Amino acid sequence: MSQIPAVLMPVEDALSRLLDSMRPFSAVQDLVLGETRGQYLASDVAARVDVPAFDNAAVDGVALRYQDLAEPGLTLPMPLRVAAGDPPCTLMPGQVARIFTGAPVPTGADTVLMQEDCEIADGRVRLPGRDDVTQGQNIRPAGQDARRDAIVIERGQRLTPQAVGLIASVGVPQVTVSAPRVLILTSGDELQRADESPLPGKIYDSNGPQLEQLVVQSGFPAVRREHLPDDPAIISDTLTRYLTDASQRPDVIISTGGVSVGEEDHLRAVLEAKGSLDFWRLAIKPGKPFTFGQVDGIPFFGLPGNPSAVLVCYLTLVLPALRRACGAQTVLPAPQTLPVNFSVNKPGKRQEYLRVRCLQEDGELRLQQHPNQSSGMLSSAVWADGLAVVPVGRTVSPGDRLAYFSFADLLGG
Ligand SMILES: Nc1nc2c(c(=O)[nH]1)N[C@H]1C(S)=C(S)[C@@H](COP(=O)(O)OP(=O)(O)OC[C@H]3O[C@@H](n4cnc5c(N)ncnc54)[C@H](O)[C@@H]3O)O[C@H]1N2
Ligand code: MOO
């Protein structure tokens, strides 16, 4: 059984140890684009075609040769008409072509005018003067968005809706994504499920549903949940079952509860007995008993039981580690630095993540903290739109600036 560490590990040290210890996930899955759910790409995506594939019009109007323009009022014949989807055609000198947005620019034409800038009547067009036009205007050149065979999105990037759109646009119908199986273990004899009648001394499990949503919504849909009683033998047997049955074996384990110092906190002890403990107890608030280790080569994140500690620890420590195992270089968003409208009078021994709201006040963004920062409550986390970070030993006065991470940025787009 481990000794209680005399000094709490700083958050930055814990994060860099986590990032260093993560190995790339070997579990991958091929998916057609319509089946992706915001996962991380496990391999680079190269363009099969130039995008756009051909020079095309950015507006509805007329295509012409710039050198055919002269003084304002010149009229030229318009014998050609080309719409989006038509095959490319050729424009003869001294002619213009009617053209529509997305249509291929005829060979010979080098400039497109908006129809509002010319007069189209009886098969001819009255044109503006050369000085009012820029050669090449309103043409989207071939290859502007992507070049054939070039990598358009790299391994480790998240499949946001816009990434899926870009991949489709370069003619790639299927991608390979990181697909780690995540096992969530809730623990504690006090817990009951939300569909059960309330019993004396029991509480409803909120960490299980919250953590499952955090994991799924951050790009890892293969989640399984199991509840463990406060019984070391049953915890140990359950872990053995998951480790030895290949059809259930997870790639990551995330537990909640049972990692503090109480006599009924068994999870860390079982982790040490069956695997190895890397570190335990951080200078983070909420989340002090955060635990990390490995069982049979599987990373094991032991989160505290308090529900807001689960939220903070997942977003700031676990998710960056999962991103690194997917090959992501950027594992945390850059924070905004914003003034606060509150005070923190007592310097803390732990880096504190306050549940705050970003407000517009007198034309400026300001952070307001929820009056109750208890790590046992979630209503303040729902009220908040992000976390403000108070470093160890800092006091704060109104107007001081703190690093702020919105929940949306932390979860990732
Ligand atoms: N003597 C000390 N006691 C405590 C310390 C300490 O340093 N010395 N640290 C406190 C801090 S900080 C935290 S955080 C908690 C975390 O303890 P555990 O990780 O062992 O978690 P539990 O004791 O199992 O549970 C804590 C709290 O959370 C509730 N809980 C647990 N699971 C769930 C769930 N799935 N859904 C909703 N709520 C859950 C549980 O009932 C407890 O109220 O330890 C402090 N104690
Ligand atoms: O770290 Mo605990 O989550 O402060 O209550």
158: CATH: 3.90.105.10
- Specify the 3-state DSSP secondary structure of 392: coil
348 and 245 inside one domain: no
34 and 163 inside one domain: yes
Q: Of 81, 71, 74, whose CA–CA distance to 127 is shortest?
A: 74
Centre of ligand 2 from the C-alpha of residue 339, in Å: 25
> Of all atoms in ligand 1, which is nearest to the CA of residue 205?
36
For position 264, what pLDDT does the model report? 83
Domain count, the chain: 4
100 and 130 inside one domain: yes
Q: Is the ipTM of this complex over 0.90?
A: yes
- Which secondary structure element, helix H or strand E, spans residue 381, and what is its range? helix 379-383
For position 135, what pLDDT does the model report? 98
6 within domain boundaries:
no
Cβ distance 146 to 168 under 8 Å? no
Residue 386 beta carbon below 6 angstroms from any ligand 1 atom: no
Nearest ligand for residue 8 CA:
1
151 and 273 inside one domain: no
Mutate to test the pocket of ligand 2, among 259, 284, 306 (most ligand atoms within 8 A of CB): 306
67 within domain boundaries:
yes
Residue 257 beta carbon below 6 angstroms from any ligand 1 atom: yes
Q: Any idea what the CATH number is for the domain that residue 77 is in?
A: 2.170.190.11
- Containing structural domain, residue 362: 336-411
201 and 319 inside one domain: yes
111 within domain boundaries:
yes
257 within domain boundaries:
yes
4 within domain boundaries:
no
Residue 68 beta carbon below 6 angstroms from any ligand 1 atom: no
Instruction: State the Cα–Cα distance between residues 173 and 380, nearest whole angstrom.
Output: 43
Centre of ligand 1 from the C-alpha of residue 257, in Å: 6
330 within domain boundaries:
no
154 and 63 inside one domain: no
156 and 190 inside one domain: no
> pLDDT tens digit string along 20-61?
999 999 999 999 999 999 999 999 999 999 999 999 999 999
Centre of ligand 1 from the C-alpha of residue 265, in Å: 9
Of the residues 179, 199, 228, the one at which a domain ends: 179
Instruction: State the Cα–Cα distance between residues 258 and 264, nearest whole angstrom.
Output: 7
How many helices and strands (H and E) does the chain possess? 9, 27
Q: Where are the beta strands (DSSP E) in 38-148?
A: 45-46, 56-57, 61-64, 75-77, 80-82, 97-99, 111-114, 119-121, 124-126, 139-140
Mutate to test the pocket of ligand 2, among 308, 313, 374, 375 (most ligand atoms within 8 A of CB): 375
Name the β-bridge partners of 46.
Answer: 151
Cβ distance 300 to 265 under 8 Å? no
For position 362, what pLDDT does the model report? 86
Residue 285 beta carbon below 6 angstroms from any ligand 2 atom: yes
171 and 40 inside one domain: yes
For position 1, what pLDDT does the model report? 54
Cβ distance 304 to 30 under 8 Å? no
Residue 305 beta carbon below 6 angstroms from any ligand 2 atom: no
223 and 312 inside one domain: yes
| Contacts with 291 (C-beta within 8 Å, 6 or more apart), sequence order | 259, 267, 268, 271, 277, 279, 280, 281, 300, 301, 302
Q: Any idea what the CATH number is for the domain that residue 396 is in?
A: 2.40.340.10
Residue 302 beta carbon below 6 angstroms from any ligand 1 atom: no
Nearest ligand for residue 312 CA:
2
Positions in the chain whose pLDDT score sits under 70: 1-2, 413
Q: Any idea what the CATH number is for the domain that residue 250 is in?
A: 3.40.980.10
331 within domain boundaries:
no
Of the residues 270, 293, 325, the one at which a domain ends: 325
Query: Percent helix, strand, coil in the chain (nearest 5)?
Result: 25, 30, 45
185 and 285 inside one domain: yes
Report field, pTM of the whole predicted structure over 0.80: yes
Instruction: State the Cα–Cα distance between residues 128 and 154, nearest whole angstrom.
Output: 46
Of the residues 272, 301, 325, the one at which a domain ends: 325
> Of all atoms in ligand 1, which is nearest to the CA of residue 304?
19
For position 271, what pLDDT does the model report? 92
66 and 120 inside one domain: yes
239 within domain boundaries:
yes
Classify residue 122 by its DSSP letter. Answer: T
For position 3, what pLDDT does the model report? 77
Specify the residue with its C-alpha closest to ligand 1, atom 1: 261
Instruction: State the Cα–Cα distance between residues 39 and 216, nearest whole angstrom.
Output: 9
> pLDDT tens digit string along 211-250?
999 999 999 999 999 999 999 999 999 999 999 999 999 9
287 and 223 inside one domain: yes
